[in-house]
Every structure is written in C-alpha cells, then in structure tokens.
Amino acid sequence: MKYIHILFGSLFLMTACSADLDQSPPNFASADSLTDFEGVLNAAYYYQLASVTPLAVMAEFRSDNALMEEAPYTEFDTFTSNLTTMEDQFFGPLYTALYKSILSANNVIENSTNATHVAEAKFLRGLSYFKLVKSFGAITVNLSAAPSLTDPTILVRKPATEVYNNVIIPDLTAAISGLSTTITNGRASKYAAQALLGKVYAAMGDFTNAETHLAAVVNGASGVGISLKSDYNEIFGVANESGNSEIIFATQISASIVDEYSFGSDFWNWFVGDDSKSNLPVDADLVAAFDASDANGGGTDLRRAVTLSADGTTAIKFPKDGGLGSDHDWIEIRLADVILLYAEALNENGTSANTVLPLLDSIRTRAGLTSLTGTVSTQSDVRQAIANERRLELAFEGHRWFDLVRTNTVDAELGETVNDNYHLFPIPVSEVLATGGIITQNDGY
C-alpha cells in the first residue's frame, strides 16, 4: 500500500555517505547493523530538498506576489477544489519527502549516541512537521524509527494544535538545548532552532512565547557573527551563500545532487519566467507595493532592482548566475525575517510604536528608505507597516501566502472573499485512496 511507502519506505534507508551534504543517500543497510548514524542524519537533511520547490510555489503563486498563466496551474489563483490537480508536481513530492526526512530523523533520535546529531535530527523533525502543518493542517504523526507495518490506524491525522504542542515545540526545545550557537552552512544551530521555535509560536498566535525566542536570536545574533548584510544584493546568488552572516539556516542545493524529483530544487526557475506555465510570473500587485514603498519611504526602494526585472514581470532575486541557478540554496531563516517577526510579536503584545519601529530601521535604511518612527503610532498601523515590510523584504522566499494565512489577512490583501477551507492545501489524493480513507482529505477538496 502507498501509505507504507510514505511512512515506512525509508525505514531501512541508511547511508554510507560522508558528512558532506552535497551527496544523496547512495545505498541501503539494515538499521540494526549501524553504529554511526551520521549518514542517516545526512539523509534527513537531503530529503528537505524535495520540499523546496513545492513550498516556494505554494507560498508565492497562491498569494498576490505571483501568477500562473497556463491551465491547470492557474488553479493556484482561483480557490476551488481543482487545486488537487497539482498533486504530482507539488503536494505529493512535498508530503513524501518530509515524511522520509522525519523517518530518517527518527532513526537518529532513537539510535544515535551522538548528542549533537540527535539535536540536529530533532530540529529537522520539527522543521518537517512545521512545513506539513502549515501546508495541510491536521497530519499523520510518526515518532518511531520502527512503526508498525500492520496497524494503519497510526495514520489517522492529528489536529495541528496537537502536533505543535506534542511534537514540534518539544523537538525544537530539545534542539535549542543540544545545539551549538555556531552557524555552519547547511547545518542546524541553536539560533536556527530558536528562530524556528519563535516562528512556530507566531504561527500559533502565541506572541508571548514568540517574543521570548525571537528576542534571544535578535539580541544574541552579533555575538555569534549573525548580522544584516550592508547591501541587500549581497544576500542572494550562489557567490554569496558561503559564510553569509545574515543566513541562519538554509537548505543546501547543488546541481551535483541527484534529487528524488527532477523538479525538487529548481524553485528559481519558476520565478525568473523560464517555465512556460508562467513566463511572466510577477503579480502587478507586488509591483504596486514597491511603488507605494517608494512613495512612502522617502526614496527608491533598493530591493526592487534585486527582486524584480526592470519591466517588473519576472523575479530575479535568485538569478541564473551564468547557468548556475541550480546551485542556489533555499534560505529557510535569515536575520531580517527574524527581526521583522520579533517586531510583530512586540506590537501584538502591546509594546509602544516608538519601541517597535526602530527595529525596522536597519532593514529600511539598507533598502534606501527612511525610518517610520514618529510617522506611525497605532497598533493597527504598526501591524500593517510590518506586514508591508515583510512582503517586500521577503518576496519570493516562501513566506507570503503563509504570512497572509497566519495574520488572517487573506481576504483583505487579495481583495476577495476566500473560503477558509482553501487556506490549506489538499492532502495528496493518492494518499487518501491508498489508505482507504484512513488519511482523510481537507474540507473543500
């Protein structure tokens, strides 16, 4: 049955590759024959690759940042049950890859004696479940390296709140305790786990706990070499990835990696208009948002030239780089994202505008804009200012749709009434059918 493939298919997938993440898991071995689980940990990292393009497309093309031009891909922009037709290219690969990453992480957590590796595995398991929950809502949970192969009831979906409280938060809390503050390319760190936990609490609407964890990252960043780049353009592009002070955690991608899915890590291709399904992907609403930023910011928003082509029709934040586009890493967490979310948490917790808005100054100054301090005062206006900043700062980095859902601003920003059912994406139909309905479909699909 298909569900066995999804949850259990990599049960015995153990790798003998080196610590270099630029390798795919090449071989198989029995779990009980292993004494070194570093290869299994690398597999947990590796499976994140196939989540990149699905989440990038889901976050940007479902939102008001990007548009599809060719049917049936236009279903991303129309909020109907027909979105299920995108299963093979997006929801199915995302679903399968993340459960494989989870199962590999489970093996490390249960069997490895290396405390750092266990902490990394807990970070990856928490990250995987967070991606699944924000995409699909209630989901199947497996925390075992050797789940029953005969009990299909373990596939019953658990409510998102239960997954947050019983899996994601405990995993990330343990990861924070077990990881170093040192930032290493492609590897989990204490601050990556703490930033992710802050993002999790914000997604839950718990801004008290979100503030605590995001503050720890913002206030401790400089002490471990995390800082904003002085030039926005220096954040992106293959040449800027290694040792980038602003990137807290990224999924490493290389053209030399044999991906599970041929479209698993070519997210940039959708943005630059190289796919016929969307030759001109940029939504005019995003161009208008940059225009408004220019008008209200006291200058020209320098992020526009890094984000959009001159004619405003394609997104160039992750350029082809002379044919090296396939080597772009996917930035999961960077400092500007954390600062803006910290400002949001402070504002939601009732902190005064004069305390919140200066957090935006370094980001706005880099963008060639003036400070908002003294010009915006109410909590509602500060909330909108932060949302505007997040949209332009993080455009095409996989945040927009999930930010709209998280802040309950889908209707206001899209200018239409969207049924709440379509805030979530469809569970792959193949999983519903293969399990005889044990894995149920989301309402509306």
pTM for the complete prediction?
Answer: 0.93
State the average pLDDT over residues 73-80. Answer: 96
Count: domains in the chain: 1
The Cα–Cα gap between 370 and 295 comes to: 11
State the average pLDDT over residues 17-35. Answer: 42
Q: Is 268 helix (H, G, I), strand (E, B) or coil?
A: helix
The Cα–Cα gap between 63 and 145 comes to: 37
pLDDT at residue 8, as a whole number: 40
| Model pLDDT for residues 352-392, shown as the tens digit of each residue | 999 999 999 999 999 999 999 999 999 999 999 999 999 99
| Model pLDDT for residues 390-443, shown as the tens digit of each residue | 999 999 999 999 999 999 999 999 999 999 999 999 999 999 999 999 999 999
We report the CATH number of the domain holding residue 190 as: 1.25.40.390
Strand partners, 250: 331
Count of beta carbons in the 10 Å neighbourhood of residue 181: 15
Identify whether 45 is part of a domain.
yes
Range 331-344 burial, b when 16+ CB lie within 10 A, else e: bbbbbbbbbbbbbb
Identify whether 99 is part of a domain.
yes
Identify whether 243 is part of a domain.
yes
Contact 164, 95 (CB under 8 A): no
User: Which residue range is the domain that position 26 belongs to?
Assistant: 2-283+315-332+397-434
Identify whether 188 is part of a domain.
yes
Q: Name the pLDDT band for 34 (thresholds 50, 70, 90).
A: low
State the number of CA atoms in the 13 A half-sphere of 126 facing the CB. Answer: 30
Residue type, 364: R
Identify whether 376 is part of a domain.
no
Identify whether 352 is part of a domain.
no
Q: Name the pLDDT band for 62 (thresholds 50, 70, 90).
A: very high
Identify whether 158 is part of a domain.
yes
Q: Name the pLDDT band for 28 (thresholds 50, 70, 90).
A: very low
Identify whether 289 is part of a domain.
no
